Amino acid sequence: MDSAEFHALAYNIIRQIPVGRVTSYGHIARLMGMPRHSRHVGQALKFLPAGSNVPWQRVVSSSGAISSRGPGTDGAQRQREALEAEGVDVAVGRTGELLVSLAQYGWFPASVDGAAVGDGDEDEGEDADGQ
């Protein structure tokens, strides 16, 4: 698979995250059939062109924490605002760590439309969507 295809697939999945919900890099990678490419999902978001309809803000780490990619960047801050605007409650730690309750807003379907699940490490699980 090409990096461009990887990005496209990642975007395709991220676009399907419902409003008011968040998921993790690792899960997206898993849905793509590449559970070991968690970091590259974030990488793809970095390649994300402006104006795209990809809700990158709904993607956080597996701990539900928003990675503060640099003290001089406001990305994490904007991400929090965007999430709160969608109704997602974001907790802020002492040092400004942004935490989202995955138990409450986490969205982890076993598979999504257009996703290629099934590449080596595969452990099917029921939708943890506990609405």
- Residues at the interface with DNA (CB under 7 A): 3, 24-27, 36-43, 45-46, 48, 56, 59, 61-63, 67, 69, 75, 79
Residue 33 CA, distance from chain mean position: 15
The CB-of-26 to DNA minimum distance in angstroms stands at 3
Helices within the chain (DSSP H only): 3-14, 25-31, 38-46, 75-85, 102-105
Shortest Å, Cβ 89 to DNA: 19
- Which CB sits closer to DNA, 24 or 105? 24
Q: Which is nearer to DNA, 19 or 73 (CB)?
A: 73
Tokens of 25: 């890099």
Query: Minimum CB separation from DNA for residue 37, in Å?
Result: 5
Q: How large is the C-alpha radius of gyration of the chain?
A: 14
Nearer to DNA, 67 or 111 (CB): 67
To the nearest whole angstrom, how small is the minimum distance from the Cβ of residue 131 to DNA? 22
Strand order in the sheet with 98-100: 65-66, 98-100, 90-92
Beta bridge partners of 98: 66, 92
> What tokens were used for 100?
């989202």
| Nearer residue to DNA within complex by CB, 62 or 89 | 62
